Structure 1
Amino acid sequence: MCDTETMPNFTEGLKILPFLDVSLVPKTAVTTSAGDLHFHMYGEYTEFRVRTILTKEPETIQWIESMRPGEHLWDIGANIGIYTCLAGLRGVQVSAFEPSPTNFWLLNQNVHLNSLQT
């Protein structure tokens, strides 16, 4: 549960998400062994996470790249969908869970941007 007294900007920010015109948000592509992944760039943290997708957790990337199409990945704490989108691009079935409403919204936007099923 979010305490609106200690985190008023968080809860106020959530109110504008449905009205955000995502076509105006910058996008970037990352080339992977399975092809290009596209992500919305919503700020410094998102930019950092996208920029370091292949280097921040190389063991995780290697594991996902070893998965075969049709296998299933449970992405618990999916954040903005870095690993969800990488696995989905490879034909892996993904069940992604993200408790943060803002990150969940970004996750869905990135899944849509990459033309992956929801």
Structure 2
Amino acid sequence: MQNAESSNIEAALNAGAALAAAKTIGNTPVIVVPEGYRAEEFEHLLPAPTRHRGTTTLTQAESFTRFIKEFSGLADLTPRLYYQIDPHPSFTAILNDHCQAPDWRDFRAVYSAPLSKEWQTWCGFR
């Protein structure tokens, strides 16, 4: 008897979980699914992502700076520029870096600066 009762309770809980409405956390829709009652994101069903992310590789210095300027004006983005000189000069702009508060750090622009022929000659590169 107790087994049937607990089975009915479990079935009722599953039915209630299946009827749960979609919730929004931040701007991302989340739906509770019955199996294990976990919350899942369904951002991929939205017409557009809820935030910027990804890496853009740019081949010209002008396009790199233009890209950074374009996104620097957005209120939710805090860009920070990183560079390395050796072995070849390259620049990485993390457009959602954590300057004031934690952030995702997954929206980037990358530019690898080419070495001039004069510089290569000076340094003995081929």
TM-score by length of 2: 0.25
Q: Which has the higher helix share?
A: 1
Q: Looking at CA atoms only, which structure, 1 or 2, has the larger radius of gyration?
A: 2
The higher-RCO structure (CA 8 Å, 6+ apart) is: 1
TM-score when normalising by structure 1: 0.26
Higher strand fraction (1 or 2): 2
